[in-house]
Amino acid sequence: MSKKSIFTERYRRLKTLLIEARAAAGLTQAELASKLARPQSFVSKYERGERRLDLIELMEVCDALGAEPTQIIKKLR
Instruction: Name every residue whose Cβ is closer than 8 Å to that of residue 29 and which is 6 or more positions away in sequence.
Output: 22, 40, 43, 44, 47
User: Residue 2: is its pLDDT beyond 90?
Assistant: no
Mean pLDDT of 7-24: 94
Q: Sorting pLDDT into bands at 50, 70 and 90, what band is 5? A: low
Residue-wise pLDDT tens digits, 21-57: 999 999 999 999 999 999 999 999 999 999 999 999 9
In whole angstroms, what is the distance from residue 13 CA to residue 35 CA? 23
In whole angstroms, what is the distance from residue 39 CA to residue 8 CA? 25
In whole angstroms, what is the distance from residue 56 CA to residue 22 CA? 18
Mean pLDDT of 45-72: 96
pLDDT of residue 15: 96
